[in-house]
Structure 1
Amino acid sequence: MDKQYTPPDVWTHDAENGGKWASINRPVSGATHEKALPVGKHPLQLYSMGTPNGQKVTIMLEELLALGKDAEYDAHMIKIGEGDQFSSGFVAVNPNSKIPALLDHSFEEPLAVFESASILVYLAEKFDVLLPKDVIKHTQVTNWLMWLHGSAPYLGGGFGHFYSYAPEKFEYPINRFTMEIKRQLDVLDKQLAKNEFLAGDELSIADIATWPWYGNLVLGNLYDAKDFLQVDDYSHVQRWAKAILARPSVQRGRIVNRDWGEAWEHLENRHSAEDIDKILALKPT
């Protein structure tokens, strides 16, 4: 049994007892230091890190480029472990201090877009792809996009935290979030048993949002929990996850704003297609 915890009458922040992220987590918002954000040469300026939420947007941008859209972008690394997201420049773009955040300089005043789902919808509408106009298909895509946006915090903030990052392992929260994540994988598996992609027979922003979380998870690229979660049981998710990973745009987008993994898996900052080409050229054949 876990050690019994009795909540105090009034909660206070204990920065010494929060595990790996204790030094940067805090119960208030706003900037901790003054620092301007870098700005590259393209209208689209992304400030992010290659976590699942960050991968959503870089994969989307690479898909847009593959479709021939004028979506060239600069992607600047925001090292959340070092508190870059609390700089004055980043907070001005996203007051919630979470990656990813996008600035579109194609307007007279740069337009700030934050929350990954909002960025995906914005880019899909701006470039008129990956989000159908037909009301039925549009709704099916947004249903699954919002399902992911509502469910992924369980995985990232719940299962991932207690299984991988918490300073101690506690049975109750691990069991609670494991049950939830397996239920979500079952929902996904049943949907993909009926459809090639999440919202039907065409790739959409729902797939781009979902793959970095659940695709990475079942392929063993997240939390090293394949055996624990018995991910091979979800055969339709496995089929879909492998098919999405095979897309060149996904292989390109997943490595951007990363500084971990193999040499061919990380590129801290991206300013041109050649930046990605050079890194992928290091991949063993």
Structure 2
Amino acid sequence: MIDLYYWTTPNGHKITLFLEESGLPYTLHPINIGKGEQFAADFLRIAPNNRIPAIVDNQPLDGQPPLSLFESGAILLYLAEKTGQFIPQDLRGRQQVLQWLFWQMGGLGPMAGQNHHFNRFAPDKIPYAIQRYVDETARLYGVLDKRLADRPFVAGDAYSIADMAIYPWIVPHTWQQQNLDDFPALKGWFERIQARPATQRAYALIEQVNPPPQ
């Protein structure tokens, strides 16, 4: 059983995508970041960087006591290795997945996150900052579009943790001032993942945990 500490953000959705795809049993523990619950002492013992997501694996493969992890990329890799799913076992296939996982963690996520901040949440609208992050997000979308031009998924023929890491950061593309019609290969990939039953189950948790205001 996995305890998942979660909120309805792109990084949170990465882990529910994996858990719904893999069928691993899990218990959801909402951490309302709008109310500051990420700073609670109990949560900080699991996630010292006061960010979601985090997990506790109550049955790690080494048979030792429960294991806690924070950082979404590390969690995805751990779960893939635990289950043997969504990461190739051969050297070259594994490296394809890992480099695109790290691309999301080091590039798309931070840049799109700053895009969200300056576009939607900053109290002062700073045109230079907005344009900088909109442009960099567009560049990264272009990199991804080129990558997907001749393959169905980011690392090749098989859906992987790299796709799970990237997809939630494309979902809010309108926040980022991006039009998916400008990136046809990316758009096709996005629609394939959006149609997966596990994706729909993962995103249905929003209504349970943090329904949007009416």
Give the equivalent residue in structure 2 for 1:154: 111
Q: C-alpha root-mean-square deviation of aligned residues, in Å?
A: 1.5
Q: Deviations over 1:52-95 (max 9, x none)?
A: 00000001000001xxxxx1100111000101110111000010
One-letter identity of the residue aligned with 1:138: R
- Does residue 261 (structure 1) correspond to residue 185 (structure 2)? The answer is no
Matched residue, 1:115: 71
Q: Quick one: distance in 2 between partners of 1:255 and 1:56?
A: 14
Match of 2:201 in 1: 252
Opposite residue 259 of structure 1, the aligned amino acid is N
Q: Cα deviations across residues 176-218 of structure 1 (Å, max 9, x unaligned)?
A: 111100000000000010211001011000001110002x034
- For residues 154 and 262 of structure 1, what CA distance do their matches in structure 2 show? 27
SS in 2 for 1:255: helix
What is the TM-score normalised by the length of structure 2? Answer: 0.93
State the SS of the aligned residue for 1:217.
Answer: coil
Q: Give the letter aligned to residue 5 of structure 2.
A: Y
Aligned residue identity for 2:111? Y
Task: Give, in whole Å, the separation in 1 of the partners of 2:133 and 2:154.
Answer: 23
Q: How does 1:1-285 map to 2 (within 5 A)?
A: 43-65=1-23, 71-106=24-59, 107-151=63-107, 152-156=109-113, 158-214=114-170, 216-218=171-173, 220=174, 223=175, 225=176, 228-256=177-205, 258-261=209-212
Letter of the 2:120 partner, please give it: S
Q: Partner of 2:205: helix, strand, or coil?
A: coil
Q: Quick one: distance in 1 between partners of 2:85 and 2:213?
A: 32
The count of aligned residue pairs is: 208
Length-normalised TM-score, structure 1: 0.70
Q: Secondary structure at the match of 2:137?
A: helix
Percent identity among equivalent residues? 40
Q: Deviations over 1:160-189 (max 9, x none)?
A: 000011012110100111110000000000
CA 1:55/1:235 → structure 2, altered by over 3 Å: closer, same or farther?
same
Please give the alpha-carbon distance, in whole angstroms, between the structure 1 residues aligned to 2:158 and 2:66.
32
Gaps of 5+ in 2: none
Q: Is the 8 A contact 1:55 1:256 kept in 2?
A: no
Q: Which has the higher helix share?
A: 2
Check conservation: 1:45, 1:75, Cα contact below 8 A.
Answer: yes
Are the structure 2 counterparts of residues 172 and 114 from structure 1 closer, same or farther at C-alpha, using a change threshold of 3 Å?
A: same
> C-alpha distance in 2, partners of 1:141/1:229?
25
Output one character per residue of 1:100-130: Cα deviation in whole Å (capped at 9) or x when no partner: 0000111542201110000100000000011
